Structures are given as structure tokens and as C-alpha cells.
Structure 1
Amino acid sequence: MVNSFPQALTIAGSDSDGSAGMQADLHTFFARHVHGASVITACVAGNSYGIHASVPMPTDFIDQEFKDLADDYHIKAAKTGMLADSELIHNVVKNYQAADFGPLVVDPVIMTKHGNQLLEESAFNTLRTDLLPLATVLTPNFYEAQKIAEMTINNDADMEEAARKMQKMGAKNVIAKGSHAKENQTHVKDFVLLESGENFWLSEPYHETDRVNGTGDSLSACITAELAKGTPMKDAIMIAKQFVNTAIGNPVEVGHKFGPINHWAAMEQNL
């Protein structure tokens, strides 16, 4: 039957070294047995040493990408990655609302896991007011959770409060990811707050490695892939947490410095 195979969409930038952004999303979709479609929002030139140039896509081109996918495919879940500025966020919001692309997973991509800001303040405000309320799932890292919730997170109770604040802003389900910057860290804990009010913590071993590019992309992409297959929300989140932890824990030696996670290792999980 036409379009019966599960299809997921990434709305993100292209990362030329293949470790993050759209490439990490598509690697993840493939590993989770879902067809991956893409709306490219920008092209980034970089390697394991860093990003050296970027070019945004014209909004009329992005409009056409959305239209072409909506005219032909049956996208069952979508996710966003890094969106460069307010104009682009407005454009993506407009196109997503006009299409029928299923639940939306928002990876806010505001700050790195080390606390460096990636998004200018005006674009951050647009993301919070316009995109966040559309999120079926919101997946901020530790520093993004602090910024969105406008509070300092010092302990588990603070993380739970931040997640509830983000849910009140419109995100139906929230995964507030724990810090990766603690001394003598043995585990990474993420707090999950579901639309139903159910909440729980997920904990996986911490891996001391610099092969972590695309971690957040892959987590949100795995959730998206599972939702496209019809996996229940709680199960989709738990699968994604295990998927990413396995990918980090079995590093692949690509590039000289900050390398990608290993989607092949995660693909072998019997989930």
C-alpha cells in the first residue's frame, strides 16, 4: 500500500562532517527502521575541530520543501533542530501548522551541553513563544532547561520544577536532560514529565569520551522515529535514552577531535 511504511521528518541544518544536525537525524531514522525525509534550513561547513561557515536557506525554498513533502508523503512524526533566526522559526512554524506531519519533537538547540549559547536572544524569544507551544515533546539539555525556565537548577527538585514550568509554556511532554559537567560523574539522569502528569527519572552510565557530537539530535530523532511507528510516548522516550547511551558507549573513531556517536552500535539493540 502506498505510504504505509513509517516516515519521519527532520527540519534542520546540514552538517558537512555527518556527525550532527540533519545527518545525525537521518542516521537515527535509518537505525530505527523508519524512512527519513528532510527539510534543510541551512548548510554548515565544519569538521571535528569546529564549524567554519554556514549559509541559511531562503524561506521560499523551505516553503517548497514543505509543500513537496506534503503533496506526496505521509509524514507521521517530525522534529526540529537548530533554527538560525526568528524569520526561520516563523517560517517553520507556519509550514508545520499548514501540513499534517504528526507530533512534533522540538530539540531547542539554544545552548551546548557545556553552556555556550548558540542562538541569538531575539531568536530564543521567538522559539519560546512560537515554537515551544507546538511541541509534543521538548528535549532541552541542562543549560537550555535553565534558560527556558528562567531559573538555576541545583538539584533534582529544581529540575522537576523547571520541567513543570516548560510544560506550562505549552510543551506537552518534557525531557529535561541532566548535566554532563559534574566531577567524578558515573551516571547521567534525565527527568521526564509526561502530558498525563506521570513523571520519572531515567539514568544511564556516564561515558568519558569526546565522541558525543549529535547526541541531542539523535535522542530527539529516535523519539521521532518511534512516534512515527506508533510507539507509545513513554516507551519511545525510554528507547531513545537507551539508544543514545549505547551509541556513546561504543565510540567510532572518525575525525581528530570531537567525533560522532556510534549509531551502528545502537542499531544492534533489541528494543
Structure 2
Amino acid sequence: MSICKALTIAGSDSGGGAGIQADLKTFQELGVFGMSAITAVTAQNTLGVHGIYPLTREALGNQIDAVAEDLRPDAVKTGMLWSAEMIAEIAEKTDQYGLDHLITDPVMIAKGGASLLREESQAALKELLIPRSYAVTPNVPEAEVLTGMEIRTFEDRKKAAERLCKLGAKHVIIKGGHQPEQGRIVDLLFDGSSFTQISHAYIDTKHTHGTGCTFAAALTAETAKGKNIQTAFETAVNFVREAVEHTLGIGEGHGPTNHFAFKRNSLQTR
């Protein structure tokens, strides 16, 4: 049996709701062997980020080397990258090892408001990672930063997706969680020529910590399994919807999503 493998390059979330912890949980639930290269250690919980401790560029590069040389990933996801130096290192390693299924989640702000990407690193993200990306998965505020445009309508989101594709991304997914309309959320996929959208009911809950990481991780897992972008997109949307709908309700602040809800509910409906 062939084992599908996915690598997450991201920060560590001590609270377990986002970052590499969320990614590895998602990979496991979707039947993919997960590996990690840590960019930074954070001290955080549901109430916020209390400390950020970045690793060096050398430490990050050595982690990627160790994984790629022995356990070549079928897909790679990036999350919290922190600095331009780390972004440059990932771009270099992507080329060195021919990692052609790179999913870039442009993590900029934590749920509690802490900055997770230095402002001067945004240009490096656009210039070095997006052109190498199989897919980019911003939320609306992140898409505004990356495109320099204001996004107020669904048509604005389409224009933003087109702009991001022009930067070199093969596929763009702009998530709709920050922009619900009439009690529904619409997630949008652009494949360079046509749009696909998935609509589902808005779930009114504060327990959404790690939804962006989890979505991109689910997309990465399905891509590692050889699924096409539309199928991977649909699974990622449903995985996050189940994770939010069946909330764990833990923590005093923005609680984590329920990473085992999708698999559990799938088994129950068989």
C-alpha cells in the first residue's frame, strides 16, 4: 500500500488549536502521514498569543532537508512564516526538491489579533511563494493585503482571486468566513479560468480558532492523495464545517475546532 505524505511548515501552537498541531491532526484524520518543519514556537491558548519565539533560517532549512531527503512529501503546506528570511528559505527548498504541490496559507493575524507575519515579509510572500504555489488560501482580510484592494462584495472576491492568479498561483481559494451574507458563507475557488463556489450555513460560534490552518491542511492532505483541486476543495470545506458545527467548547476565549468530527460523522453515516 502506498502511503501518502504531507509536510506542514508552520508555527507551533501550544494550545493545540492551530499551527502544526491543527495540521497534523487534520492530516491524520484524512489518512495522510504528517510531517513538520517548525518556523516558530508560540505560547498561546484560546485567549491569545502570549509569546513568539522564531527559529533560525538554518534550523528551518535543516528540518526541510531532513524530511525531503528521506520522506519526500506528496504535498506541502505553509502557515505562519514570520520573516522574509524564512520565506526565502522555503522558496529555495521548494525549487531544490521540486516540491510542486505547495499550498500557501498566508497566515498574517492570529484569531486574538496578534501579528504572525512581519509587515516587511508580505512582499516576499507575494514575490517568492505565491508564484510557486499550487494553491493559495487567504481569507478576505488576507486577500485584501495581498492584492491591495478593498473586498466588500462577492464580485470583489472574484477580482481578487484573478489578481492572485496573475501573481503566479495555479489556484486561489478565498474563504468566506469573514464575509457571511444572509446567514450563509460562500467559499470561492478560482482555477485560472473558471470559478467554483460552495455555500453553507453560517455557524454562530466564537470557537473558530485554527479554521484557516485546518482548511489548508485538509486541502493539502487531499492533494497529497492525488485528488484534483475541486475534490480537495470540497473536502476541505466540509471538514471545516463539521469541525466548527460540532464544537468542543473548550477554553475561555476563541476555542479550537473539532478535528475528529468529520471522520466520526462519516463513519456514523455509513
Bucket of the pairwise TM-score, normalised by the shorter protein: over 0.9
What is aligned with 2:29? 31
Q: Which amino acid aligns with 1:193?
A: F
C-alpha distance in 2 between matches for 1:102 and 1:224: 12
Q: Tell me the alpha carbon deviations over residues 31-74 of structure 1, each in whole angstroms, 9 at most, x when there is no partner.
A: 10100000111100111111111111122222211111122113
What is aligned with 2:255? 259
Q: Is the 8 A contact 1:84 1:119 kept in 2?
A: yes
What secondary structure does 2:151 align onto? coil
C-alpha distance in 2 between matches for 1:112 and 1:187: 23
Q: Which amino acid aligns with 1:120?
A: R
TM-score, structure 2 as length reference: 0.93
User: What is the Cα deviation at residue 128 of structure 1?
Assistant: 0.9
Q: Does 1:203 align with 2:203?
A: no
Q: Is the 8 A contact 2:132 2:169 kept in 1?
A: yes
Q: Is the 8 A contact 2:139 2:177 kept in 1?
A: yes
Q: Does 1:194 align with 2:191?
A: yes
CA shift in 2, pair 1:51/1:146, >3 Å: same
Q: Report the more deviating stretch, 29-38 or 142-151.
A: 142-151
Q: Does 1:219 align with 2:237?
A: no
C-alpha distance in 2 between matches for 1:227 and 1:251: 26
What is aligned with 1:54? 52
C-alpha distance in 2 between matches for 1:49 and 1:254: 11
Structure 1 stretches of 4+ with a deviation exceeding 3 A read 111-118
| Identity across matched positions, percent | 37
C-alpha distance in 2 between matches for 1:102 and 1:181: 31
Q: Is the 8 A contact 1:141 1:177 kept in 2?
A: yes
Q: Is the 8 A contact 1:31 1:263 kept in 2?
A: yes
What is aligned with 2:165? 167
Gaps of 5+ in 2: none
User: What is the Cα deviation at residue 112 of structure 1?
Assistant: 5.2
Gaps of 5+ in 1: none
User: What is the Cα deviation at residue 268 of structure 1?
Assistant: 2.6
Find 1:243's aligned residue among 239, 256, 263.
239
Name the Cα RMSD after superposition: 1.9
Q: Report the more deviating stretch, 98-107 or 210-219.
A: 98-107
Q: Report the more deviating stretch, 199-208 or 34-43.
A: 199-208
C-alpha distance in 2 between matches for 1:263 and 1:161: 32
What is aligned with 2:65? 67
What is aligned with 1:77? 75
Aligned length: 267
Q: Which amino acid aligns with 1:157?
A: E
C-alpha distance in 2 between matches for 1:264 and 1:17: 17
TM-score, structure 1 as length reference: 0.93
